[in-house]
Amino acid sequence: MPNPQLNQHGELQHLLTIEGLPCEVLTHILDTAASFLSISDREVKKVPLMRGKSVFNLFFENSTRTRTTFEIAAKRLSADVINLNIDASSASKGESLLDTIDNLRAMHADMFVVRHAQSGAPFLIAQHLNAHKQRYIHVVNAGDGRHAHPTQGLLDMFTIRHYKQDFSNLTVAIVGDVLHSRVARSDIHALKILGVPEVRVIGPRTLVSSHMEEMGIRLYTDMAQGLKDVDVIIMLRLQNERMNGALLPSAQEFFKNYGLTVERLAMAKPDAIVMHPGPMNRGVEIDSAVADGSQAVILSQVTYGIAVRMAVMSILAGN
């Protein structure tokens, strides 16, 4: 079965997941993003690459933050952006997801940026468009359920490459609720594809999956051991909704065991960088002294995120 993300020339048609993408496609996105980085510094922060294109932000799950990054990226590419916050429950009542998509493509949409609580929703949309030979319409997954968040994965790779240049000799640790994290999943796929030799996952036994070992990931339940000599630490956001379940005792307990403090950070290499996809729960997964410290590159991630999203959108629109 061909990769539904790639067209017959092997070019990116949709960005649904990092899994299965060729290394050159990832590298091309990162290189393009690098060229966009300077645009946001200019007096006039706009390029006309998507002038007159209609980009629909289809957010079936509310996320002001992610929606904003895509809206800025699209506007800096001169696209027309239409925001649609669709309450998933009312959507299911009135009209099916694919009827909504068919309507919007009949309005000559050029791109759908899709956020959905259900894993696979962007895939479903892309397959539907492919089946209808709508090859001028592109889908970007802006986060689907626990499945994938590929632009976050890409911006994390951009950040790592920026600070560490070379992927081929790094040790990267991902810390927290890896089991439920689409960010972790996208990061792990990207790190593997780009050739990172050692990827570690650190978290309580209930929040890491033993499947991961089959993927060549090393599991740690102890922070001191897991952080030893790593080059990159990716902290995950602890979802509040998981906190009061059987999986996790409490925020305080989590911080005691897995919160990133100055002391724990000292286990890593002296030039290790600290990343976080945001928004941070200060005092839960990360201590403020670390979050605001000199090794944190969390705000750089945000800046690079705009450039990476501009790169993804303009590459898709050009294919």
Say if residue 65 carries a ligand binding annotation.
Answer: yes
Say if residue 66 carries a ligand binding annotation.
Answer: yes
- Whose structure tokens read 């802006």? 142
Say if residue 115 carries a ligand binding annotation.
Answer: yes
Alpha-helical regions (H) of 132-282: 150-164, 182-193, 211-214, 223-227, 240-243, 251-258, 262-265
Q: State the minimum distance, in angstroms, from the CB of residue 124 to its own copies.
A: 16
Interface residues with its own copies (CB under 8 A) are 40-46, 51-54, 64-65, 68-69, 71-72, 75-76, 80, 82, 84, 86, 93-96, 99-100, 102-108, 240, 278-280, 282, 299-300, 302-303, 305-306
Q: State the minimum distance, in angstroms, from the CB of residue 15 to its own copies.
A: 20
Residue number with CB closer to its own copies (1 or 107): 107
Residue number with CB closer to its own copies (64 or 210): 64
Contact 250, 220 (CB under 8 A): no
Residue number with CB closer to its own copies (219 or 302): 302
CA distance 84 to 93: 17
Say if residue 218 carries a ligand binding annotation.
Answer: no
Q: State the minimum distance, in angstroms, from the CB of residue 222 to its own copies.
A: 29
Say if residue 161 carries a ligand binding annotation.
Answer: no
Beta-carbon contacts of 71 under 8 Å, excluding residues fewer than 6 positions away, are: 57, 81, 83
Q: State the minimum distance, in angstroms, from the CB of residue 195 to its own copies.
A: 28
Residue number with CB closer to its own copies (45 or 256): 45
Q: State the minimum distance, in angstroms, from the CB of residue 217 to its own copies.
A: 29
Residue number with CB closer to its own copies (34 or 280): 280
**DSSP letters of 279-291?**
---BTTTB-HHHH
Residue number with CB closer to its own copies (25 or 308): 308
Q: List C-alpha distances in Å: 56 to 219, 222, 274, 279, 286.
A: 39, 43, 33, 24, 34
Q: Cis peptide before 279, with omega less than 30 degrees from 0?
A: yes
Which among 113, 13, 16, 121 has a CA at the least distance from the CA of 71? 113
Alpha-helical regions (H) of 16-96: 23-36, 64-76, 88-94
Say if residue 189 carries a ligand binding annotation.
Answer: no
CA distance 178 to 174: 8
Q: State the minimum distance, in angstroms, from the CB of residue 150 to its own copies.
A: 19
Say if residue 269 carries a ligand binding annotation.
Answer: no
Say if residue 2 carries a ligand binding annotation.
Answer: no
Residue number with CB closer to its own copies (19 or 71): 71
Say if residue 152 carries a ligand binding annotation.
Answer: yes
Q: List C-alpha distances in Å: 102 to 97, 109, 125.
A: 9, 10, 10
Q: State the minimum distance, in angstroms, from the CB of residue 116 to its own copies.
A: 16
Q: At 178, list the tokens.
A: 């890896």
Contact 98, 128 (CB under 8 A): yes
Residues of each annotated binding site = 65-66, 93, 115, 149, 152, 182, 237, 278-279
Residues of each annotated binding site for L-aspartate = 93, 182, 237
Residues of each annotated binding site for carbamoyl phosphate = 65-66, 115, 149, 152, 278-279
